[in-house]
Amino acid sequence: MCGIVGYIGPQQAAGLLTEGLARLEHRGYDSAGVAVLGSRLQVVKKAGRVRDLVDALPKRFAGKVGIGHTRWATHGPANDTNAHPHVSADGRVAVVHNGIVDNAASLRERLTEAGVELASDTDTEVFAHLIGLSTADTLEAKVVDALSQVEGTWGLAVVHADFPDRMVVARNGSPLIVGVGDGEMYVASDLAAVVRHTTTVAHLDDGELATVTATGFTTFRQDLTTTTTTAREVDVDPSAYEYGELDGEPRMFTEIHEQPSSVERALRGRLDERFGTAHLGGLNLDPRELRAIRRVKILGCGSAYYVGQMGAGLIEELARVPADAEAASEFRYRNPIIEPDTLYVAVSQSGETIDTLLAVQEIKRKGGRVLGVVNVVGSAIARAVDGGIYLHAGPEIAVASTKALTNMYVAFSLLALQLGRVRDLSIADGKRLIAGLQALPTQIEEILKSESHLEEIAARLAEAESMFFVGRVRGYPVAREGAQKLKEISYRHAEAYQTSELKHGPLALISESVPTVAIVPKDELTDRNVAALHEISARRGPLVVVTHPDVDLGELDALRVDVPKNEVELDPILMTIPLQLIAFHAAKALGHDVDKPRNLAKSVTVE
């Protein structure tokens, strides 16, 4: 969603800012803008893409201090006026903001009564006016003055024509990092924006602010007392953050094909073959504490929620602990009962999803223990939890998640294994699962080899306006994720259903123009699954069946996708891979921008 980048140093800022903004494009946005401070403060902002902004920049746009923003519309439509930066009435203050001002309506009213003419429909504009109107002496005090009147969340960057040697940035619920360069400094909402220039960064804490000059930064709290946040080298490969296509292919394609190696990374050093268990040091739970867990509750949003559902199934099967998954976006609104012997697990690729973060905070407020299953190191959720499992999927750029989801599943397998082995899971079963996990990379490679077959199937599905994805028990969350992936990038309607529920309603919709993608693993439900497929076929519904080589589909008229067999508990992970490729090729066949689907953002940082 919204992205922030800022620069102060010896170079002209504009090019660095727009380049940083382009690196945030994958997060999703609808307008972009920059402000630079030279002999005067200049602002240019445009609805549309960063390249539209670049085209709109005047020839003379000089300044060595500047801030930039990509906006995802919340208050007011996506147009040039509502784009950030927003400026004060006297044109001397410019601000960019991620987050939401909860009391924007009353602040806007107060400002209007005080004679301020508001230019935009946004909540952010109030920051610019409040800072501009503050009578405090320093920029820091002016910003603090403004923040004390605002309720809500912010990642904020401010420049002021009266203080040309500095920027002030602030964080409260929306990430903000300070990047240390050589005689120059950067600020950003996301490492991707600055990683080409520096990998030495400081993460601000909620409630913290920083003054950033060309030579360094100092941090402080809203009461202006100093804090000791320091910058650290982060261990990342800057080339992994390159934006745009790689070798002429969309990032989603690269990320799907990277899965054999990203799964290997998730497993590395975490398997104990001798005792048939996993070692997840980051859980911060000893065996006695693990044994004391009576229930597991997994919280995530969208696809992370669906993988959470797969994870809950695994935990129940392997550890025999009651487990379930719930959409984090709904959780805190039903005043959830937080139990001391329940282990709560927040799952998120970005570690920034606000609904998941707020669920974590609600649990912690009520004294619960929360683990994170997170990809982005140092992200808000990773920092808020009591322990957790990093996914090690590497940066995921495409909006449609693939490799991170696969690694979430691997992480849940490891958690289930460790929980199981302190309970009744036998050492033999533990070893069986470890062998299954170790086989995954090669088996994923095998599935990726069938890409041309999947491309043909995708082209057929792309012709349908609407379709079903069905599965049972372990296969149901796989169907949900398959439908989600297809929906988000091909814009075709896809509905996931439990195969067993078809006859209770949706069968009425089956016809020759409504295909069904069915998940039919070789397991205790194969015969029942196949029987349901006959019911679909009898109503002339076209079928795509994702199954195992030794499943006999009899006379069924179906396009078949065979996936290598693993242990039953791990089959879902492999059955998800062909669905990624089907969604990818359907979107491509329809001519869509696969990496940047309409209306979607990579990190959903607003409620």
By CB under 6 A, name the one of 356, 407, 537, 566 that touches ligand AGP: 356
By CB under 6 A, name the one of 88, 124, 401, 526 that touches ligand AGP: 401
Question: Does 580 engage in binding with ligand AGP (CB under 6 A)?
Answer: no
Question: Does 561 engage in binding with ligand AGP (CB under 6 A)?
Answer: no
Q: Which of 142, 297, 596, 602 is catalytic?
A: 602
DSSP state of 204: P
Contact status, residue 99 vs residue 153, Cβ threshold 8 Å: yes
- Helix-helix angle 475-490:571-589, to 10 degrees: 20
Q: Which is nearer to ligand AGP, 18 or 353 (CB)?
A: 353
Question: Does 146 engage in binding with ligand AGP (CB under 6 A)?
Answer: no
Q: Which is nearer to ligand AGP, 398 or 543 (CB)?
A: 398
Residue 161 Ramachandran class (φ > 0 left, ψ -120 to 50 alpha, else beta): alpha
Tokens standing for 101? Answer: 């001002």
Q: Determine the size of the site formed for ligand AGP (CB under 6 A).
A: 16
Question: What is the secondary structure of 109-176 as a DSSP string?
Answer: HHHHHTT----SS-STHHHHHHHHH---SSHHHHHHHHHTT--B-EEEEEEETT-TT-EEEEEEBS--
Taking CB under 6 A as the rule, which mask of x and - marks residues 251-290 in contact with ligand AGP? ----------------------------------------
By CB under 6 A, name the one of 98, 350, 413, 547 that touches ligand AGP: 350
Supply angle C-alpha 132, 187, 231, rounded to 5. 125
Which span (106-114, 395-403, 461-469, 517-525) binds ligand AGP, by CB under 6 A?
395-403
| Nearest approach, Cβ of residue 500 and ligand AGP (Å) | 25
Annotation says 64 is catalytic: no
Question: Does 400 engage in binding with ligand AGP (CB under 6 A)?
Answer: yes
Question: Does 348 engage in binding with ligand AGP (CB under 6 A)?
Answer: yes
Q: Which is nearer to ligand AGP, 448 or 600 (CB)?
A: 600
Q: Would you tell me how many other CB atoms lie within 10 Å of the CB of residue 89?
A: 16
Tokens standing for 316? Answer: 């129940």
Q: Which of 2, 64, 403, 565 is catalytic?
A: 2
Judge if the upstream peptide bond of residue 506 is cis by omega within 30 degrees of 0.
no
What span, in angstroms and rounded, lies between the C-alpha atoms of 117 and 131? Answer: 15
Q: Which is nearer to ligand AGP, 193 or 359 (CB)?
A: 359
Tokens standing for 186? Answer: 């950067």
Q: Which is nearer to ligand AGP, 172 or 401 (CB)?
A: 401
CB proximity list for 224: less than 8 A, separation 6 or greater? 140, 141, 144
What span, in angstroms and rounded, lies between the C-alpha atoms of 156 and 176? Answer: 8
Q: Which is nearer to ligand AGP, 144 or 478 (CB)?
A: 478
| Nearest approach, Cβ of residue 402 and ligand AGP (Å) | 8
| Nearest approach, Cβ of residue 328 and ligand AGP (Å) | 8
Q: Which is nearer to ligand AGP, 146 or 399 (CB)?
A: 399
CB proximity list for 470: less than 8 A, separation 6 or greater? 479, 496, 497, 498, 499, 502, 516, 517, 518, 519, 532
Question: Does 434 engage in binding with ligand AGP (CB under 6 A)?
Answer: no
| Nearest approach, Cβ of residue 397 and ligand AGP (Å) | 12
Question: Does 329 engage in binding with ligand AGP (CB under 6 A)?
Answer: no
Q: Which is nearer to ligand AGP, 514 or 581 (CB)?
A: 581
Question: Does 189 engage in binding with ligand AGP (CB under 6 A)?
Answer: no
User: Residue with the closest Cβ to ligand AGP?
Assistant: 302
What span, in angstroms and rounded, lies between the C-alpha atoms of 158 and 33? Answer: 14
Which span (278-286, 346-354, 513-521, 580-588) binds ligand AGP, by CB under 6 A?
346-354
What span, in angstroms and rounded, lies between the C-alpha atoms of 312 and 464? Answer: 33
Calculated CA dihedral for residues 176, 237, 306, 607, nearest 10 degrees: 10
Question: Does 407 engage in binding with ligand AGP (CB under 6 A)?
Answer: no
180-205 in b/e form (b: 16+ CB < 10 A) is bbeebbbbbbbbbbbbbbbbbbbbbe
Taking CB under 6 A as the rule, which mask of x and - marks residues 292-311 in contact with ligand AGP? ---------xxxx-------
Annotation says 2 is catalytic: yes
Three-class secondary structure of residue 384 per DSSP: helix
Which span (121-129, 344-352, 511-519, 541-549) binds ligand AGP, by CB under 6 A?
344-352
Residues 483-542 that bind ligand AGP (CB under 6 A): 488
Give me the residues that bind ligand AGP (CB under 6 A), please. 301-304, 348-350, 353, 356, 399-401, 488, 600, 603-604
Active site residue ranges: 2, 602
